[in-house]
């Protein structure tokens, strides 16, 4: 069964610290992996999209990594800010011509405290 598992479920860190969020998937075939940020009460916003051949992709203080062999991805946040408090959602696209084949993780809720 196609699944996307994220860990931890929630995380609290102090402002200025770094953190890493994990995403493991069993989706096959694989087309790409995406990370989204969802602020409370808002819609998700795309952070990165990585294809099979991409190992690392950065967007400002956000760096995503992908290991297609082990089917794992991580999102590293550097020098966290209060505005980083949000849920982070990992989404894997199964491709294969099926437009509905986007598998969503349940998200990691990050709280950044002053």
Q: Which residues bind another protein (CB under 8 A)?
A: 31-32, 34, 36, 41-46, 49, 89, 91, 93, 95-100, 102, 104-107
Nearest distance, CB of residue 64 and another protein, angstroms: 14
Instruction: Specify the pairing of strand 32-38 against strand 56-59.
Output: unpaired
Nearest distance, CB of residue 29 and another protein, angstroms: 11
State which residue, 72 or 95, has the beta carbon closest to another protein.
Answer: 95
State which residue, 100 or 114, has the beta carbon closest to another protein.
Answer: 100
Nearest distance, CB of residue 18 and another protein, angstroms: 25
Alpha helix positions (H), the chain: none
The SS3 of residue 97 is: coil
- Residues in contact with 107: Cβ distance below 8 Å, sequence separation at least 6, in sequence order: 6, 38, 87, 88, 89, 90
Largest CA distance in the chain: 46
């Amino acid at each position: 069964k196609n699944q996307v598992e994220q860990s931890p479920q929630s995380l609290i860190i102090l402002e200025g610290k770094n953190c890493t969020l994990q995403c493991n998937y069993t989706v096959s075939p694989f087309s790409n992996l995406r990370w989204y940020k969802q602020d409370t009460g808002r819609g998700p916003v795309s952070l990165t999209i990585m294809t099979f051949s991409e190992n690392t992709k950065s967007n400002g203080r956000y760096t995503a990594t992908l290991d297609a062999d082990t089917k794992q991805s991580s999102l590293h946040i550097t020098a966290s800010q209060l505005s980083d408090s949000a849920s982070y959602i990992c989404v894997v696209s199964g491709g294969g011509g099926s437009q509905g084949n986007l598998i969503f993780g349940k998200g990691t809720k990050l709280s950044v405290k002053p």
